[in-house]
Amino acid sequence: MARAGLTVERVTLTAADLADEVGLDHVTMSAVARRLGVKDASLYAHVRNLEDLRGRIALLGADEKTIRIAEATAGRAGKDALVAYADAWRAYAHDHPGRYTATQVPIPIDPELAAKAAGPRRAVELTYSMLRAYRLEEPDLTDAVRLIRSALHGFVSIEAAGGFAHSRPATDSWPRCIEALHNALEHWPTREEETPT
């Protein structure tokens, strides 16, 4: 019997908050149950297991990050959109480190649950839309999406781990890195025609 007042949404949000505080790897069913003031067994009326719960954290994070990026980039194009996109990405990673980690690591997610989640799909649409001003076509467009994700995720992950210990603050390097990313997109290398062998 599900405990009154306990819902899958409340369990997921509590677990996500816990992930932000202690790290995704330290989220356990017992820790979530303690935070909610219930016995471990009560959670299983709402989520199947820890893997299911982590998948739900990932989908929640994807939804939240996508909404933040959508709001930041609305009405913007070109470099202006890229800067807003990147700043929103970094801000979300700073504000919700546990949720952010869940969106970036491979977590098996129930296919039915994933199919209903708009966040991941909308994130892809937003990225491709933001890149429209750079006039790239496939397969360059996919390569550019991968470059952006690698650059942004790499920066915020190293920053979160304390890897930028140089005297120059990471905050000063960030806009220069985004400027360099913009220049790379503006001057995308042309692909040489494949020569028959």
DSSP secondary structure string for all residues of 34-85: HHHTS-HHHHTTT-SSHHHHHHHHHHHHHHHHHHHHHHHHTT--HHHHHHHH
What confidence tier does 197 reach under pLDDT thresholds 50, 70, 90? low
Angstrom CA distances, 142 to 121, 137, 150, stand at 15, 8, 12
CA distance 137 to 149: 18
Mean pLDDT (whole number) for 162-182: 95
Predicted pLDDT at 107: 86
User: Which span out of 39-43, 114-118, 189-193 was modeled with the highest average pLDDT?
Assistant: 39-43
CA distance 112 to 144: 30
CA distance 188 to 75: 24
Is residue 152 over pLDDT 70?
Answer: yes
Predicted pLDDT at 36: 96
Q: Give the mean pLDDT of the chain.
A: 92
Model confidence pTM above 0.85: yes
Predicted pLDDT at 196: 56
What confidence tier does 2 reach under pLDDT thresholds 50, 70, 90? very low
Is residue 194 over pLDDT 60?
Answer: no
